[in-house]
Amino acid sequence: MLPTQPYMVNMGPQHPSTHGVLRLRLVLDGETVLDAEPVLGYLHSSKEKLQEEHTYLQTIPITDRMDYLSAMNNNLGCALAIEKLAGIQVPERATYIRVIMSELQRIASHCFAQGTLLQDMGAWGTPLMYFLYEREQILDIFEMVCGARLTYNYIRPGGVSQDLPPEFFPLVRKFLAEFPAQLDDYERYLKDNEILRARTVGIGVFPRELAINASATGPTLRASGVPWDIRKADPYCCYDRLEFEVPVGQRGDCYDRFMMRLYEMRESLSIIHQALELLPPGEWKAPVPLVIRPQPGDAYAHIESPRGELGYYLVSDGGASPWRFHVRAPCFINLTALRDLLVGHKVADVVVIVGSIDIVMGEVDR
C-alpha cells in the first residue's frame, strides 16, 4: 500500500463550529490531524484602541460588543476597573443587582454554548431549541430591566443604569422555580447518552498541567480538575457572602467541559436565590460625574465570566479618557492551546473540540 501524503485544509473562516470568524489551518493525513494553526484577525475591530478615544463612561457600550453572549459580565469587569481607578464606592443594593444579572447572564451564555455544541455534533435542532428557549426567558428579563436583549450597557461605573422594576421579581422567581426541573431533564437525557459520550469522552483531552501552564481559565480549566474560580479566589461584589460550589472535572475532555456548564448553571441558580433574599433597599447608583477624570495611575480588575477570567487593565494620565485600555480575554488565552487538543484526532472531532471550548471571536479579535 502506498503511503498517504499529508495535505493542508482550511477549516473556516466561516465554519459554524468556530462561533465567529476563525480560520483553522489543518495539516491532515487522511482524516487525522497532524498539525493545526488557528488564524485570527478576521473579526478585528480595534476595541482596545477605540477605548482610548472615549470617556470612561463611553467605554461600557463597547465592552458589550466583545463577548456579546455575556455582555453583562463584560460591563461588570470594566465598571469594576473604572471604580478601582477612580475610587468610586458602589451602593450595596447595586452590588447585589450586579451579581443577580451576572449569574443570569452566565446561565444564558451556557445555554447557548450547550445548544450549539450539540448542534455541531449533528443533533439537528431539537436540543438547541430547548436551550434557546431557556435563554429567551432570561433575555425577556433583561429586556424588562434595561430595554435590550443582547448588548445592555446596564452595569455602569457607580452601580447600574436603573433599579429593578417590580415586575422583575415574580418573573425571576418563576424562572428559578422552573429551570431546575429542565436541568434535571437535560442531565438525564444527555449525561449517559451514548452518542454524546462517543463524540466527547476522551476527545480533546486538556491535561491538568498543560491547562495550568497555558493559563486557561473558566470551565475549560475546571474540567481539567483545577478548582480555580475568581468568585472564590479573589471575590468581588458580594460573592464572599454567598455560598456555592466550584464543580471540577476529572479527564479534561470535551465531555467534562460540556458537563461543567450544566453543573455551573445549578450553582448560578443558588447564587441568584441567595442574592434575591439578601438584596437590600437603598440607592442603586452612586453619583458619578458625566466625565470621570481619575488621578494618574493604573488599576486591574477581574471577574469570572462564563468563559473564564476576564480582566481589565486601565492606565490613567489624569485625562477624560484612559491612556491605556487592555483586556485579558479568556477566549483568546483558552484558544492558545488548541493545537495540543487537536493533533491526533479526526476532522470530525475538530468541530466538537472547538465547540467545547466555547470561543466567542468578538472577544478574541478585540
DSSP string, 150-214: S----EETTEESSPPPTTHHHHHHHHHHHHHHHHHHHHHHHTT-HHHHHHHTTSS---HHHHHHT
What is residue 301's predicted lDDT score, i.e. its pLDDT? 98
What is the bridge-based pairing of β-strands 308-316 and 324-328? antiparallel
Regions of the chain with pLDDT less than 70: 1-2, 15-19
Global pTM reads: 0.95
Give residue-wise pLDDT tens across range 160-189. 999 999 999 999 999 999 999 999 999 999
DSSP for 75-140 reads HHHHHHHHHHHHTPPPPHHHHHHHHHHHHHHHHHHHHHHHHHHHHHTT-TTHHHHHHHHHHHHHHH
Contacts of 185 (CB under 8 A, 6+ apart): none
What is residue 15's predicted lDDT score, i.e. its pLDDT? 67
Give the integer Cα–Cα distance in Å for 166 and 188. Answer: 35
What is the bridge-based pairing of β-strands 297-305 and 159-160? unpaired
Report yes or no: 282 and 93 within 8 Å, Cβ to Cβ: yes
Give the integer Cα–Cα distance in Å for 342 and 116. Answer: 19
Unique residue bearing C-alpha cell 453619583 = 287
What is residue 16's predicted lDDT score, i.e. its pLDDT? 63
Give residue-wise pLDDT tens across range 265-307. 999 999 999 999 999 999 999 999 999 999 999 999 999 999 9
What is residue 93's predicted lDDT score, i.e. its pLDDT? 98
What is residue 41's predicted lDDT score, i.e. its pLDDT? 86
How many CB atoms are located within 10 Å of the residue 16 CB?
Answer: 11
DSSP at 249: -
Q: Grid coordinates in use for 252?
A: 479534561
Report yes or no: 350 and 18 within 8 Å, Cβ to Cβ: no
What is residue 209's predicted lDDT score, i.e. its pLDDT? 96
Domains within the chain, CATH numbers bracketed: 49-365 (1.10.645.10)
Whether residue 13 has a cis bond before it, omega within 30° of 0: yes
Number of H helices, E strands in the chain: 15, 8
